[in-house]
Chains A and B, each alone.
Chain A
Amino acid sequence: MTDVVATNETILVVGGGISGLTAALEAAECGKQVLLVEKNPSVGGRIAQLYKYFPKLCRPSCGQEINLRRLKANKKIRLLTMAEVTNVAGTAGDYDVSITIHPRYVNENCTACGACADAVTAEIDDPFNYNMTKTKAAYLPYNMAYPQRYVIDPSIVGSEDANKAKAACKYEAIDLDMQEQTIEIKVGAVIWATGWRPYDAAKIQPYGYDRFPNVITSVEFERMMDPFGPTGGKLLRPSDAKPAKNIAFIQCAGSRDRNHLTHCSRICCMASLKQSTYIGEQYGDDADAKATIYYIDIRAIDRFEDFYKKVQADEKVHFIKSKVANITQNRDTGDVVLHGVDTEGYQRYDNTHDLCVLAIGMEPSVRADQINDSVSADASGFIQPNGANAAIFGAGCATNALDVNRAVQSATAAALRAIQVVNRVSSAEA
């Protein structure tokens, strides 16, 4: 299954999110051999968890469909899922890479019929929904997941549940004897596209994410709008499943703050402006439905200014220039109360909302200095351009906090750099 052929002319792409997919596809479509390694059971990364893109408010599944078609059609890309790069050593044109592949316990015979999921009873947190819901311990990561193949969670392997799943499978697709394996390969260049993760909101203690059910993060809010998501596409607050209509957004939650992330993640302003439009989409003219955005300054950069102006004109959306001091909870209603000072007029406020969304910042999934000695990290751990670094190129959010558009541009640039390295290898060997 894992007889991977790779040479000094192969480009290794680490991470199968939008940046890694883009880099892999563009390099392969230029005729290069590509090995694409993804840690999760399927490619797509965080864009698959988004309801809409800003500024056009179109659906990410559309672009993903195109990318998956490109991926399936391209014979130059070898995809490894549930695989992690554990070591990169060497120099440009000559890298030795170790990859650990975790067992999926499901082989290529899988037709995604779902009989194994019906058979098992154990449930696990569903990471696709940021653990807001449970999924069966035999699961398809999400509807559009590629490969379209189920996964058996290691927690049930060795249990009766796993045997039930195996018995339910008509295609002999379940192999409970699969073991973790490590492979060693050679590649010529590396594109590092391990992306980002949301900052841990529980660390912003005054906002009580760990204590108040109706304080959620922007990524969780995004999942709620998905018709196949945790709330079936309804904006329901976690404490009592009532519709959340009066919704607060706190900008720079854990960002631009020396106690947390010092950098600006760039996307959070646009994300909240986008999410404020969901309220109108969900509730129409309902007078109770409104968004209040608490902000330091709105960073709707360059061409996004138009979007910002459109949202400003929306009567449902209110702006309060203030860094919220803390949040308390009304014990009887579950409502959240935001306390702070409105800096335009210096008025103290204690504003009650149904739900509070923390516009959370991005931090790199893997700190750049953990990749390899030749890769430099900036103060936040993102990959910093480094002239001395031979051929490990950062792409997408591994290099900086970027929106999807800029992540794709960054991935294309990384692909071009990697192509030049393997071209040099080819001409030297010819």
Chain B
Amino acid sequence: MAKKEYSFYPGCSSERKASASNYMVSVDAMCEKLDIKLNEIPDWNCCGASIGYAEGGELPRHVMNARNIALSEQNNPDQDIVATCAACWLGAKETADRLDASEQLLADTKEVLKEAGLDIHLKNETPIRHMVEVLIEDIGYEGLKEPMVKSLEGIKFAGYVGCQTNRPFGIDGESFENPMYLDKMVETVGGEAITDYDKKVTCCGGALAFSEPEKSQKQIKDIIEAAYDQGADMIVTPCPVCQMNVEVYQDQINKHYGTKFHIPVTYYSQLLTVAYCGNAKEAGLDGNIIRAKQLEEIAAK
């Protein structure tokens, strides 16, 4: 397999000691096995995430993403920008679309970037992609199978896609209400996918987990309940926010609703890393608050 190179936008949740640092660890291991090289965008900044929509204002939000695009086009020319975080991907992709659609917004954005001398580097020609797109489109399901050493046979996964990789852009060719790519990935590495998982695209509450915990936890409860009802051993997701919300509030939900939830919530990259013979540490399994014991057992074999 020829080495593939991408300009990498890790985002804040992937930083050391942040909530999804184990996602990053598993992505590194997975990419090594797949011969993918990620060239980090130097001095990348926040995508704006939820704050950008709430109070940040439109121009600042787009400028932040445009700065990342400009830095990427300056330092990693001719490489697609790849984000592992669904929110980073969505934010950057939205900005690229909006700049493309509005000359005024593009001019205003360049005016701001001029302060940092970056306006001349912003071409806004680079495709902005999520890591799952790279896996599905550039590597392909067959290619994902190639480095496989161990099968995840015997584990039943609820593929929780969430919203950000799904709406409004979505993964090419997928349905918004019933996307199948996560299920196909699970099946590719020998796991059992619950293809008609009821809460596949239900909102996890996103940032409302902080500001409106009751409403958000109601959403999360439904997501977990449906996974149990349909016989899942664990949940798998492509999004750091989904992963965090669904995993860390299980104790609080148990207290509030009298449930006994204790279900691991993993990343697709952890599954692939284990299937590619990575150990538990390489797969970032030590970073899960609710340990994915079945994955750990396979990794230890």
Contact among B175, B177, B229 with A331 in the assembled complex (CB-CB below 8 Å): B229
CA distance A115 to B172 in the complex (A): 49
If A328-B198, A331-B198 touch, whether A208 touches B229 (CB-CB below 8 Å) is no
Which of B176, B177, B229 has the most chain A CB within a 10 Å cutoff?
A: B177
Chain B interface: which size bin? under 10
Whether A198 is near chain B, meaning CB under 8 Å from some CB there, is no
Residue of B nearest to A328 (CB): B198
Judge whether A211 and B178 touch: CB under 8 Å: yes
Distance of B102 from chain A, by nearest CB (Å): 20
Residues of A within 8 A of B229 (CB): 331
Whether A286 is near chain B, meaning CB under 8 Å from some CB there, is no
Whether A312 is near chain B, meaning CB under 8 Å from some CB there, is no
CA distance A206 to B196 in the complex (A): 14
Distance of A228 from chain B, by nearest CB (Å): 34
Residue of A nearest to B196 (CB): A211
Residue of A nearest to B230 (CB): A331
CA distance A328 to B201 in the complex (A): 12
Within 8 A of B (CB), among A138-174: none
Judge whether A205 and B177 touch: CB under 8 Å: yes
CA distance A328 to B196 in the complex (A): 12
Interface residues as binary, A197-239 with B (CB distance below 8 Å gives 1, 0 otherwise)? 0000000011010110000000000000000000000000000
CA distance A205 to B178 in the complex (A): 8
Interface residues as binary, A328-347 with B (CB distance below 8 Å gives 1, 0 otherwise)? 10010000000000000000
Distance of A147 from chain B, by nearest CB (Å): 41
CA distance A208 to B175 in the complex (A): 11
Residues of A within 8 A of B176 (CB): 205
Interface residues as binary, B190-218 with A (CB distance below 8 Å gives 1, 0 otherwise)? 00000010100000000000000000000
CA distance A206 to B178 in the complex (A): 9
CA distance A328 to B200 in the complex (A): 12
CA distance A328 to B176 in the complex (A): 15
Residues of A within 8 A of B177 (CB): 205-206, 208, 211, 326
Within 8 A of B (CB), among A289-339: 326, 328, 331
Interface residues as binary, B217-231 with A (CB distance below 8 Å gives 1, 0 otherwise)? 000000000000100
CA distance A326 to B198 in the complex (A): 13
Residues of A within 8 A of B175 (CB): 205, 210
CA distance A205 to B198 in the complex (A): 14
Distance of A163 from chain B, by nearest CB (Å): 40
Residues of B within 8 A of A326 (CB): 177
Distance of B170 from chain A, by nearest CB (Å): 11
Residues of A within 8 A of B198 (CB): 328, 331
Within 8 A of A (CB), among B163-185: 175-178
Residues of B within 8 A of A328 (CB): 198
CA distance A206 to B175 in the complex (A): 10
Distance of B159 from chain A, by nearest CB (Å): 15
Residue of A nearest to B176 (CB): A205
Distance of A259 from chain B, by nearest CB (Å): 10
Distance of A197 from chain B, by nearest CB (Å): 21
CA distance A328 to B202 in the complex (A): 12
Distance of A324 from chain B, by nearest CB (Å): 14
Residues of A within 8 A of B196 (CB): 211
Residue of A nearest to B175 (CB): A205
Residue of B nearest to A327 (CB): B177
Residues of B within 8 A of A331 (CB): 198, 229
Q: Which 5 A-B pairs have the closest CB atoms?
A: A205-B177, A205-B176, A205-B175, A206-B177, A211-B178
8 contacts between A and B (CB under 8 A): A205-B177, A205-B178, A208-B178, A210-B178, A211-B196, A326-B177, A328-B198, A331-B229
Given contacts A205-B177, A211-B178, A326-B177, 13 further A-B contacts (CB under 8 A): A205-B175, A205-B176, A205-B178, A206-B177, A208-B177, A208-B178, A210-B175, A210-B178, A211-B177, A211-B196, A328-B198, A331-B198, A331-B229
